Amino acid sequence: MIQYVSTKGGILPVDFETAILDGFAADGGLYVPTQLPKITLTQLSTWKDLSFIDLAYEVLSLFIDISVMSEQELRQILQESYSPFYDSSIIPFHELSSQKNLIVQELFHGPTLSFKDIGMSFIVNLFNFFLARKGEKMTIVVATTGDTGPAAAHASIGKSTIDTWVLYPKEMITEEQERQMTTLTAPNVFPVGVSNCPDGADDLDVLIAELFADKGLKEALNLSSVNSINWGRVMMQTVHYFYGYLRVVDRVGAPLNFAVPSGAFGNLCAGSLAREMGLPVGKFIISNNQNACLYRIFSQGVFSKKEIINCPSSAIDILVPYNFWRYLYFAIGQDPIKIKAWIEEYTQNGIVQFDKKTYEEYSKGFIPYSISDELTLAIINEVYEQEGYLLDPHAAVAVAAANIFNKDYTSEATILCLATAHPSKFPVSISDALGKKEKLPTAASHFSIEAAKACCEKTYTCHFENMRTAIPKIMKENSTR
Ligand SMILES: Cc1ncc(COP(=O)(O)O)c(C=O)c1O
């Protein structure tokens, strides 16, 4: 029986369904499986030619008991989740001819054009499946730096089992991302823009943790979350690492390097769990923008928070990478007492300096970089000028970091650069990068973004100072439970 416990160690083991529907564990920790499944190279070789959906089935079935969900049910949920994707292969690849040894894994062909659709489409369908079976309804709340929100909102359309609230820091996401949420007419989707957030979406993550801690509200609304605190998102994201690996390597068993644009460490947490399961990863190149929270953790052993900087790669303007705790739990040998103590230390002092042994354990195989805005924009321009391929600012951060890694380590090995968003979501940065003030290339547009421009918007707004009273109030008033 596959069971789930909390990174803080304060709950009894639960089954997969409970871990998914709860979101947060009751002790405030993050759900993790009691054991990570191990995959041998022989098994990996047999997966070499599988489609994304068939591979997803193989990987996910290692985490889900057949008593919770049958093979057919899991396959059907996967099919439903990925049929709205714009590319029939779900995840295509592009070999960069202008950059040495770099291949781009295009993770942005879902309905809202970011990699968040990969985890989100699946998990919202999973919620719907479990809730319909129980005859229940839930309220889902997510915070977004611009991509999680649209993905959650779109995946929720037509799901009568859930009401979805998406909280975003107003003026800190692009207009295109905002309209992907606010132009939806679905009656169960409620976007809320919060102005003046000093720490951006991190402030909204704090609010969500507080909403969960309010037992009365949690019960009244049957509250849950599909942020990457939810195990289901991280679990699903392990699949694109296996898929990318199997599509790119000539020989199963050879190590492959990954460059990953990173913010809250959800995606890299998934990658590191895939590595722990047996995926032959060479190095993970942590690609931070100037909000270098992961850079500090992986280069100096310091978990700390600084003032937020608005970068062209705005979706990774993150100060507190909460999924790092989930990764750390496994990296140090599943010790919840230590994790709880560090989280408490961080909450009290705003900083944790890890001891040398812990730092050495968790930083193994990770090479961190913090990429400047100038370099991000320059690489978008260089790749576009040289080969007509348009990177979004997040993919550009990964490509820039991969290039520096190749120089620093005189490496000739292939690096798979994860492209996490479509450039059409960031036209201002693309324009800044290409220096074209009037007409952007067609690669910088997408028909779904254009269609949203022609629609009216529906959203709630409030100020940061009032969000603690305003948001629970409006949620209660609109609850259909
Ligand atoms: C386009 C894009 N790239 C990268 C990331 C970073 O992902 P993670 O927070 O899982 O590190 C995000 C997350 O918000 C994103 O929207």
The DSSP-derived string for 188-201 is TEEEEEEET-TTTH
Q: Is the CB of 267 under 6 A from ligand 1?
A: yes
What is the secondary structure of 325-378 as a DSSP string?
HHHHHHHTTS-HHHHHHHHHHHHHHSEEE--HHHHHHHTTTEEEEE--HHHHHH
Per the CB < 8 A criterion, the answer to whether 261 and 311 are in contact is no
- SS3 of residue 461 by DSSP: strand
Whether the pLDDT of residue 413 is over 70: the answer is yes
pLDDT, one tens digit per residue, over 123-161 is 999 999 999 999 999 999 999 999 999 999 999 999 999
Q: Is the CB of 264 under 6 A from ligand 1?
A: yes
Q: In the chain, what percentage of residues exceed pLDDT 90? A: 94
Q: Is the dihedral of CA 65, 69, 75, 81 positive or negative?
A: negative
Q: Is the CB of 261 under 6 A from ligand 1?
A: yes
Q: How many C-beta atoms surround the C-beta of residue 96 within 10 A?
A: 19
Q: Three-state secondary structure along 138-168?
A: EEEEEECCCCHHHHHHHHHCCCCCEEEEEEE
pTM score of the predicted model:
0.96
Per the CB < 8 A criterion, the answer to whether 270 and 237 are in contact is yes
Confidence of residue 11 (pLDDT cuts 50, 70, 90): very high
Amino acid identity, residue 26?
A
Per the CB < 8 A criterion, the answer to whether 474 and 192 are in contact is yes
DSSP state of 421: B
- CA angle 50-250-114, nearest 5°? 55
Residues forming a β-bridge with 98: none
pLDDT, one tens digit per residue, over 330-381 is 999 999 999 999 999 999 999 999 999 999 999 999 999 999 999 999 999 9
In whole angstroms, give the CA distance from residue 366 to residue 284: 5
Residue 113: is it exposed, middle or buried by C-beta count within 10 angstroms (0-12/13-18/19+)? Answer: buried
Domains of the chain with bracketed CATH: 93-113+232-447 (3.40.50.1100)
In whole angstroms, give the CA distance from residue 378 to residue 363: 29
Distance 135 CA to ligand 1 centre (A): 33
pLDDT, one tens digit per residue, over 49-96 is 999 999 999 999 999 998 999 999 999 999 999 999 999 999 999 999
In whole angstroms, give the CA distance from residue 248 to residue 260: 16
Q: Is the CB of 316 under 6 A from ligand 1?
A: yes
Residue whose tokens read 């997408």: 446
Task: List the one residue out of 108, 121, 114 whose CA is nearest residue 153.
Answer: 121
Q: How many C-beta atoms surround the C-beta of residue 335 within 10 A?
A: 16
Residue whose tokens read 């997040």: 394
Average pLDDT estimate for 17-34: 94
Average confidence score pLDDT of the chain: 96
Ligand 1 atom with minimal separation from the 262 CA: 11
Distance 420 CA to ligand 1 centre (A): 7
In whole angstroms, give the CA distance from residue 324 to residue 237: 15
Catalytic residue among 38, 48, 100, 116: 116
Note the pLDDT of residue 364: 97
- Give Rg (Cα) of the chain: 21
Distance 243 CA to ligand 1 centre (A): 19
End-to-end CA distance of the chain: 33
In whole angstroms, give the CA distance from residue 366 to residue 286: 7
pLDDT, one tens digit per residue, over 192-228 is 999 999 999 999 999 998 998 899 999 999 999 998 8
In whole angstroms, give the CA distance from residue 424 to residue 342: 40
Task: List the one residue out of 421, 411, 415, 381 whose CA is nearest residue 399.
Answer: 415
Q: Is the CB of 393 under 6 A from ligand 1?
A: no
Verify whether residue 116 is a known catalytic residue.
yes
Whether the pLDDT of residue 120 is over 90: the answer is yes
Confidence of residue 437 (pLDDT cuts 50, 70, 90): low
Distance 262 CA to ligand 1 centre (A): 6
Per the CB < 8 A criterion, the answer to whether 95 and 248 are in contact is no
Whether the pLDDT of residue 439 is over 90: the answer is no
Q: For ligand 1, atom 9, which residue shows the shortest CA distance?
A: 264
pLDDT, one tens digit per residue, over 221-259 is 999 999 888 999 999 999 999 999 999 999 999 999 999
Task: List the one residue out of 155, 83, 141 whose CA is nearest residue 112.
Answer: 155
